[in-house]
């Protein structure tokens, strides 16, 4: 049984923490990008040190008061807002933004959890290194939130997801104990991997306060190209050909549908689309080559090889870095176009690569049986991760279909599950997908997750209601 924040707890915390820790309950802490939940105003605390985080958790644990960790607030599954239950402490990492150390010779950087991703990327670039995590929310998302959701983004194909960028963590456990796991080791087989347990835990097992991150050498030259391809099946063949041609130099391979480009034209006409006529399917590919090679020479040769095999019918290669950015603006604005149209149900799914064409064909057919909808299917095809979003026809709004929403979601997720896929590829579970995890999760895994949660957080204070239904 949890208690809400009391005046008594606040007095205790005020005596133990500097005044700057206490923040007004600004609306931003209570909102999330999809507008599905409104968080409860509790006590907003912005600690500046790991020791202060520890003090907060120690007192919250003793008083059995919920704690909701808050990063940049960009999470898409409602993990950062607690809409019901006992009023929580909202613990924001916004004052813990330091880059603690950079070790260029080790390709390692140690940062605090409140550091914003774009700043981490810039610092790495200042040392002629690459921090490989990249996503459209990088100007706001913070390292602690990115690791807690095990974020993906556009470079997973080459560099892996957030989990793959981490060597060590510093975490405050629910009772206030500090786990100092800020290791810079690339090999360390000493027992259970607590680091990988905390990554992706969405604030339910503790508060990440710092991370030792992996850096990479920067590619010598980079470019991007759009290719028109007939179908998801030919896009898959193109991906395979790209693997043979470039090895691991392909950093992104994004599938874009005609519907996505049409939404963009309708909602954000200033975003320059790559082709005068929107093709049914196209692919945006990004390549970064090492040594003294030139990316454009290679991608032009690839274009010829792909056209000879009948895999592409048209294409455009970026002739400058500003054109490359223009190409990426198309991809990165598709979610905003979607938001303006208003989806009835959005799905962040993954399936085995070879199953993608079958998933799209069967998904479209199954949705057509539910009703007359528009589908924008796009995303990180190279990772088997698609955003498969269902919209009303022109002239209708999402509110006209609220009663169909659950059926649409069920149809898509049942198909994904049947095809051996995941109903959350990169956004996490949060509060949005708790029921899905119960429905599709392996029972043994769910039981182990509950046992871990109870062992580490016996009072259940960490982000209650997120990820797991604790029975």
| Nearer residue to ligand FAD within complex by CB, 75 or 219 | 75
Question: For ligand FAD, which stretch binds (CB under 6 A), given 71-79, 121-129, 184-192, 279-287?
Answer: 71-79
Q: Is 465 in the site for ligand FAD (CB under 6 A)?
A: no
CA dihedral (339, 342, 345, 351) positive or negative: negative
DSSP state of 219: P
Of residues 209 and 345, the one with the C-beta less far from ligand FAD: 209
Is residue 113 a contact residue for ligand FAD (CB under 6 A)?
yes
Q: How far apart are CA 325 and CA 303, in angstroms?
A: 20
Kindly write out the interface string for residues 204-243 of this chain, putting x where it contacts ligand FAD by CB under 6 A and - elsewhere: ---xx-----------------------------------
The values of phi and psi at residue 90, to 5°, are -95, 115
- In the three-class reduction of DSSP (H, G, I as helix; E, B as strand; rest coil), residue 277 is classed as coil
Q: Please list every residue from 120 through 179 that binds ligand FAD, using CB under 6 A.
A: 135-137, 141-142, 144-146, 148-149, 151-153
Binding mask 402-431 for ligand FAD (x = CB under 6 A): ------------------------xx--x-
Task: Report the residue number, 288 or 379, with the smaller CB distance to ligand FAD.
Answer: 379
Q: Are 129 and 218 in contact (CB under 8 A)?
A: yes
Nearer of residues 2 and 241 to ligand FAD, judged by Cβ: 2
Asked whether the beta carbons of 120 and 149 are under 8 A apart, the reply is no
Question: Which span sits near ligand FAD by CB under 6 A: 57-65, 70-78, 187-195, 288-296?
Answer: 70-78
Please provide the distance, in angstroms rounded to a whole number, between the alpha carbons at the two ends of the chain: 12
Q: In angstroms, rounded to a whole number, what is the distance separating the alpha carbons of residues 274 and 271?
A: 10
Smallest gap, in angstroms, from Cβ of residue 135 to ligand FAD?
4
Indicate the residue among 360 and 466 with the shorter CB distance to ligand FAD.
466
Distances in Å between the Cα of 126 and the Cα atoms of 108, 157, 215, 259 are 13, 24, 12, 39
What's the Cα-to-Cα distance from 447 to each of 400, 456, 463, 469, rounded to whole Å?
A: 39, 14, 19, 11
Structure tokens at 201: 């835990």
- Residues 21 and 41: their CA atoms lie apart, in Å, by 16
Is 70 among the residues that bind ligand FAD (CB under 6 A)?
yes
By CB under 6 A, tell whether 264 contacts ligand FAD: no
DSSP state of 345: B
Q: Which of residues 30-49 bind ligand FAD (CB under 6 A)?
A: 33
Position among 50, 55, 74, 234 found at the interface with ligand FAD (CB under 6 A): 74
Only one of the segments 4-12, 19-27, 202-210, 289-297 lies at the binding site for ligand FAD (rule: CB under 6 A); that segment is 202-210
Q: How deeply is 420 buried, as exposed, middle or buried, from its count of CB atoms within 10 A (0-12, 13-18, 19+)? A: exposed
Q: How far is the CB of 74 from ligand FAD (least distance, A)?
A: 3
Strand, helix or coil for residue 268: coil
Work out the angle at residue 292's Cα, subtended by the Cα atoms of residues 288 and 298, and round it to the nearest 5 degrees: 50
Is residue 381 near ligand FAD by the rule CB under 6 A?
no
The H-assigned helical ranges of 32-106 are 50-63
* Interface with ligand FAD, residue 355, by CB under 6 A: no
- Classify burial at 262, counting beta carbons within 10 Å of its beta carbon; exposed 0-12, middle 13-18, buried 19 or more: middle
Beta carbon of residue 240, minimum distance to ligand FAD (angstroms, whole number) = 23
Query: How many CA within 13 A on the CB side of residue 161?
Result: 21
- Under the binding rule (CB under 6 A), the answer on residue 384 touching ligand FAD is no
Q: Using the rule CB under 6 A, which residue among 21, 54, 55, 80 binds ligand FAD?
A: 80
Minimum CB separation from ligand FAD for residue 199, in Å?
A: 10
- Of the pair 207, 228, the CB lying nearest ligand FAD is at 207
In terms of C-beta density within 10 A (0-12 exposed, 13-18 middle, 19 or more buried), how is residue 105 classed?
exposed
- Kindly indicate which of the ranges 63-71, 235-243, 244-252, 306-314 contains the residues binding ligand FAD, using the contact rule CB under 6 A: 63-71
Query: Taking the complex as a whole, how short is the minimal distance between the CB of residue 146 and ligand FAD, in angstroms?
Result: 4
How many residues line the site for ligand FAD (CB under 6 A)? 37
Angle in degrees, CA 94, 96, 100, rounded to 5? 145
Closer of 9 and 201 to ligand FAD (Cβ)? 201
431/471 Cα distance (integer angstroms): 16
Are the C-beta atoms of residues 350 and 391 closer than 8 Å to each other? no
Shortest spacing between CB 147 and ligand FAD, in angstroms: 7
Using CB under 6 A as the binding rule, whether residue 441 contacts ligand FAD is answered as no
Counting Cβ atoms within 10 Å, is residue 444 exposed (0-12), middle (13-18) or buried (19+)? exposed
| CB 7, CB 68: distance < 8 Å | no
Contact pick of 47, 71, 421, 464 for ligand FAD (by CB under 6 A): 71
Residues 324 to 343: which contact ligand FAD by CB under 6 A? 335
Q: Which is nearer to ligand FAD, 137 or 259 (CB)?
A: 137
**Chain contacts with ligand FAD (rule: CB under 6 A):** 33, 68-76, 79-80, 93, 113, 135-137, 141-142, 144-146, 148-149, 151-153, 202-203, 207-208, 335, 426-427, 430, 463, 466
């Amino acid at each position: 049984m949890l208690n809400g924040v009391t005046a008594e707890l606040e007095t205790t915390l005020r005596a133990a923490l500097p005044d700057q820790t206490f923040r007004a309950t600004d609306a931003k802490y209570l909102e999330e990008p999809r507008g599905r939940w409104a968080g409860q105003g509790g006590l907003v605390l912005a600690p500046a040190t790991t020791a202060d985080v520890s003090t907060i958790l120690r007192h919250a644990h003793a008083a059995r008061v919920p704690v909701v960790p808050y990063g940049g607030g960009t999470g898409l599954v409602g993990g950062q807002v607690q809409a019901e239950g006992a009023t929580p402490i909202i613990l924001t990492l916004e004052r813990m933004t330091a880059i603690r150390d950079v070790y260029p010779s080790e390709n390692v950087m140690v940062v605090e959890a409140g550091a914003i991703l774009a700043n981490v990327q810039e610092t790495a670039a200042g040392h002629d290194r690459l921090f490989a995590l990249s996503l459209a929310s990088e100007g706001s998302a913070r390292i602690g939130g990115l690791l807690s959701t095990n974020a993906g983004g556009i470079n997973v194909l080459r560099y892996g997801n957030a989990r793959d960028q981490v060597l060590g963590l510093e975490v405050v456990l629910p009772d206030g104990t500090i786990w100092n796991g800020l290791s810079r080791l690339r090999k360390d087989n000493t027992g259970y991997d607590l680091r990988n347990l905390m990554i992706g835990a969405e604030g339910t097992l503790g508060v990440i306060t710092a991370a030792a991150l992996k850096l990479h050498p920067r590619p010598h030259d980079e470019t991007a190209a759009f290719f028109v391809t007939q179908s998801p099946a030919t896009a898959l063949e193109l991906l395979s050909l790209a693997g043979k041609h470039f090895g691991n130099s392909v950093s992104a391979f994004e599938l874009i549908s005609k519907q996505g480009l049409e939404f963009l034209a309708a909602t954000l006409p200033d975003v320059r689309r790559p082709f005068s006529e929107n093709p049914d399917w196209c692919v945006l590919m990004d390549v970064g080559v090492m040594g003294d090679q030139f990316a454009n020479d290679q991608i032009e040769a690839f274009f010829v090889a792909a056209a000879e095999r009948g895999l592409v019918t048209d294409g455009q290669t970026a002739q400058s870095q500003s054109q490359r950015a223009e190409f990426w603006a198309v991809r990165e604005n598709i979610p905003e176009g979607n938001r303006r149209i208003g989806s009835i149900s959005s799905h962040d799914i993954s399936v085995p690569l070879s199953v993608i064409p079958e998933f799209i064909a069967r998904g479209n057919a199954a949705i057509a049986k539910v009703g007359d909808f528009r589908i924008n299917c796009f995303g990180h095809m190279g990772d088997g991760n698609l955003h498969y979003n269902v919209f009303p026809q022109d002239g209708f709004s999402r509110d006209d279909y609220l009663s169909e929403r659950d059926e649409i979601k069920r149809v898509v997720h049942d198909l994904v599950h049947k095809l051996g896929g995941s109903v959350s590829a990169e956004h996490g579970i949060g509060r949005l997908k708790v029921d899905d995890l119960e429905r599709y999760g392996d029972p043994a895994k769910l039981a182990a997750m509950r046992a871990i949660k109870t062992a580490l957080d016996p009072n259940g204070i960490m982000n209650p209601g997120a990820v797991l239904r604790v029975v």
